[in-house]
Amino acid sequence: MRKIIFTAILCITFFACANESKNEKNQQSTPANSTLAIDGKNLFQANCASCHHPTKPMTGPALKGVLARVPNKQWIYDFVHNSTKVIASGDEYALNVFKNNGGVVMTNFPNLSNEEIDAILNYCEE
């Protein structure tokens, strides 16, 4: 009788432990940092590639190294969310880049988060 109880306890302990390690694995497969999960390449291709190439000028300028030329990172977020608004505000850099690209109006992307824009820029730097 004792042997049976002992075996039963052993079995329960074993399954409890096995289950726990399974749970841990499940948690690890969901990335804690959502930035890592954003696919910059995919976003770039879906939203920007019709007008931009990372290294070649197209309808819009090549995006590689863009951070070094623009006034600051916030400027990029604002411009991607609503370029017309930035140009209309009289921002000198925006007016110039608009003029130098034949006055083509860039599409507005109000729904892209700053993190998604970061992921797109990171992809363009690769």
Among 38, 40, 52, 123, interactor with ligand HEC by CB under 6 A: 52
Among 50, 72, 74, 114, interactor with ligand HEC by CB under 6 A: 50
Q: How many residues bind ligand HEC, per CB under 6 A?
A: 27
Residue closer to ligand HEC, measured from CB, 7 or 96: 96
Among 54, 83, 119, 123, interactor with ligand HEC by CB under 6 A: 83
DSSP assignment of 19-81 equals HHHHHHHHHHHS-S-HHHH--HHHHHHHHTTTT--SSS-SSS---TTHHHHSS-HHHHHHHHH
Can you tell me whether residue 106 is helix, strand or coil?
coil
Question: Stretches 1-9, 18-26, 30-38, 44-52: which one binds ligand HEC (CB under 6 A)?
Answer: 44-52
- CA–CA distance, 47 with 13 (Å, rounded to integer): 52
Whether 62 and 53 have beta carbons less than 8 Å apart is answered as yes
Site for ligand HEC in 95-114 (CB under 6 A): 97-98, 101, 104-107, 109, 112
Instruction: Tell me the closest approach of the beta carbon of residue 54 to ligand HEC, in angstroms.
Output: 11
